């Protein structure tokens, strides 16, 4: 009889423990889910759909935007509205307005539109500080992908300060996320669980491997800074740092064929007269092997490292010149693009 009572008591204890574990697990999951729902609820009226049309009246681009001011200013990507004739903006409640382009920066891929706020419920988004982001932090992408209407996808911060060359631009300091970003998401919001915009969704990178889950957003700090400059009437000059050479990527095959002293680096095919390289003594036939003490083994990496600088910055260039290794501090100039 005593043994039976002990067994029953043990079973009761096990059942109670399991109930406690299940309750706690469900509570933790529900709390996270509630935070996601609340964040999306907070921002959904601040994200708009953008339809851009060519001068021939043909649809040219589909995108999203984020309401920036109570006066109807909207931030989006420059590539969404560039070279378009008519811009239509659709709000969460279905109301439509014509968007007027205030300014755009092709270099930074940021644009500001303006709509007449009459008759609209304008809800500006709250912008957070992207500098406080941490790897693994939950984020939600909100926008209008593939013409499906308002859509949100959840993911994490997969990387920070990413530099990518895409669409003839070099994007710097991007947020990487595995939250699904597709055509139509461009210009939309990447938010944290406080419902704050911490990025402007910009591109998906697939590369030659066709990789999935690599979406990128311009940081809220950069987008807000550029947008404010535009609203103040400041000209966003599209300039990149420039060194003034014609580069050729050295491969092991090229190195063997031409008996080069190294099997990697950038071969200087030509130098622009009076350009930065020319002024600091870099000549055709030199081989650049390092920039700022970092190995350069591709033209893409070489260009990205140069163009990540500002005109007037110095860059430390390590070169093979007549089989002698030289280190030259080159002051970069600019070439408008």
Catalytic annotation on 186?
A: yes
Which of 150, 139, 154, 232 lies closest to 192 in space, CA to CA? 139
Asked whether the beta carbons of 142 and 49 are under 8 A apart, the reply is no
Which of 191, 157, 152 lies closest to 39 in space, CA to CA? 191
Catalytic annotation on 109?
A: yes
Active-site residue (options: 79, 103, 286, 333):
79
Burial class (CB in 10 A: 0-12, 13-18, 19+), 127: buried
Q: For the chain, where are the alpha helices, taking DSSP H only? A: 2-43, 78-81, 220-231, 252-257, 276-279, 299-307
Which of 174, 179, 206 lies closest to 191 in space, CA to CA? 179
Ramachandran bin of 292, using left for φ above 0, alpha for ψ from -120 to 50, beta for the remaining angles: left
With tokens 């423990």, the residue in question is 17
Active-site residue (options: 46, 73, 103, 109):
109
Tokens (6 digits) for 283:
């000549």
Q: Which residues of 84-107 are buried (b: 16+ CB within 10 A; e: fewer)?
A: beebebbbbeeeebebebebbbbb
Between β-strands 59-67 and 73-76, what pairing exists: parallel, antiparallel or unpaired? antiparallel
Q: How far apart are CA 208 and CA 198, in angstroms?
A: 29
The dihedrals phi and psi of 303, each to the nearest 5 degrees, come to: -60, -40
Q: How far apart are CA 102 and CA 87, in angstroms?
A: 12
**Rg of the chain over CA atoms, in angstroms?**
26
Active-site residue (options: 186, 220, 286, 333):
186
Q: What are the residue numbers of the active site?
A: 79, 109, 186
């Amino acid at each position: 009889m005593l043994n039976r009572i002990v067994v029953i008591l043990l079973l009761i204890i096990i059942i109670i423990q399991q109930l406690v574990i299940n309750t706690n697990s469900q509570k933790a999951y529900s709390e996270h889910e509630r935070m996601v729902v609340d964040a999306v609820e907070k921002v959904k009226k601040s994200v708009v759909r953008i339809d851009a049309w060519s001068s021939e009246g043909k649809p040219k681009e589909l995108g999203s935007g984020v309401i920036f001011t109570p006066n109807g200013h909207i931030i989006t990507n420059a590539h969404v509205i560039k070279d378009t004739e008519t811009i239509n903006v659709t709000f969460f409640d279905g109301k439509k307005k014509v968007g007027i382009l205030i300014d755009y920066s092709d270099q930074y891929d940021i644009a500001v539109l303006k709509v007449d706020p009459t008759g609209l419920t304008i809800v500006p988004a709250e912008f957070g500080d992207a500098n406080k982001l941490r790897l693994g932090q939950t984020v939600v992408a909100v926008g209008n992908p593939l013409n499906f209407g308002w859509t949100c996808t959840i993911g994490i911060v997969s990387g920070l300060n990413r530099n990518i060359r895409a669409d003839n631009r070099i994007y710097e300091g991007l947020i990487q996320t595995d939250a699904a970003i597709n055509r139509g998401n461009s210009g939309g919001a990447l938010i944290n669980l406080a419902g704050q915009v911490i990025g402007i969704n910009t591109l998906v990178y697939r590369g030659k491997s066709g990789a999935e889950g690599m979406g990128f957003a311009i940081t809220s700090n950069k987008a807000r800074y550029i947008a404010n400059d535009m609203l103040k009437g400041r000209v966003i000059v599209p300039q990149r740092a420039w060194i003034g050479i014609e580069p050729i990527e050295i491969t092991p095959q090229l190195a063997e064929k031409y008996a080069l002293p190294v099997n990697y680096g950038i071969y200087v095919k030509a130098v622009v007269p009076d350009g930065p390289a020319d002024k600091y003594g870099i000549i055709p036939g030199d081989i650049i092997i390092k920039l700022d003490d970092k190995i350069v083994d591709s033209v893409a990496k070489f260009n990205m490292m140069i163009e990540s600088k500002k005109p007037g910055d110095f860059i430390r260039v390590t070169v093979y010149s007549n089989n002698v290794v030289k280190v030259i501090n080159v002051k970069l100039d600019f070439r408008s693009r």
